[in-house]
Structure 1
Amino acid sequence: MPESDGFHPDFPNDAAQRPPRNRVRHVKSTDLDATTAQTDGMQRFAALSGATVGSEKLWMGETIAAPGMSSANHHHGESETMIFVRSGHPEFVFLDGDDEVRVRTDPGDYVFVPPHLPHREENPDPTTPAELVIARSSQEAIVVNLPALYAL
């Protein structure tokens, strides 16, 4: 892709090698980066990150939750995570004390996941994927996969 479009998949995460921060960057939906951290049952794609646009504090991308899937339990380290449900009806599961909480969503809903909170995403629809737009307060996608919904 031409440099003028602002997408630089070959830039390392080293700050000295990131794209310059003196202009607007444009990443087309067809140029998302699938080499981000993954969790079983989900496909994550980076759009705006340190490597693609030179961001220092934010990461943004999307996740596809396959029909009938349940992700692995995981958390996102120090990152605050904000989610916009573009399509489908994904569910977010976490523990509140000893109680399992299930947040059911609809297209257009927003979800906030605090730092270090173990959770998982589920897509109970047996035929339709759920599409989510993700923003995090770190420049890259942090994913720590866990064996269970409790902090280790």
Structure 2
Amino acid sequence: MQRFAAISGHRVGSERIWMGQTHVAPATASANHHHGESETAIYVVQGHPEFVFADDTDGHREEVRLRTAPGDYVFVPPYVPHREENPSPDEEAVVVIARSTQEPVVINLPSL
């Protein structure tokens, strides 16, 4: 995955928001992780990335998979374990990301 900052404290002096683009190569998945106290908003520009979350409803844990398309929005609350996947064998996924923190906080986890 490649991340490109557009709006950040370093680039434009913003203090409470970071915004940029992420390019996800075909057949790629991130590690399971969360973003600490950061809220994350995602807008899908290209491709069909999938976002996988853990759901603990009714005392048992299961994976919830959000399949997206261009024009979709996804919200990731603080501390929510998840991973991003691009299941396409040949199409790059491109998303715009906005975060409520300046630093790219990524806490890797052994599982969701």
Give the TM-score of the pair, scaled to structure 2. 0.92
2:92 maps to 1:129: yes
| Equivalent residue runs for 1:34-113 within 5 Å | 42-97=1-56, 98-113=61-76
- Cα offset, 1:139, TM superposition: 2.2
Unmatched tracts of structure 1, length 5 or more: 1-41
Answer whether contact 1:92 1:120 (CA < 8 A) is retained: yes
Unmatched tracts of structure 2, length 5 or more: none
Higher Cα radius of gyration: 1
Looking at structure 2, the residues matched to 146 and 47 of structure 1 have their Cα atoms a distance apart, in angstroms, of 28
Looking at structure 2, the residues matched to 87 and 117 of structure 1 have their Cα atoms a distance apart, in angstroms, of 24
- Cα offset, 1:54, TM superposition: 0.7
More strand by share: 2
Q: Which of the numbers 98, 102, 108 marks the counterpart of 1:139?
A: 102
Answer whether contact 1:58 1:140 (CA < 8 A) is retained: no
Looking at structure 1, the residues matched to 27 and 111 of structure 2 have their Cα atoms a distance apart, in angstroms, of 19
Runs (4 or more) in structure 1 with deviation over 6 Å come to none
Give the TM-score of the pair, scaled to structure 1. 0.69
Q: CA RMSD in A?
A: 0.9
Looking at structure 2, the residues matched to 76 and 45 of structure 1 have their Cα atoms a distance apart, in angstroms, of 17
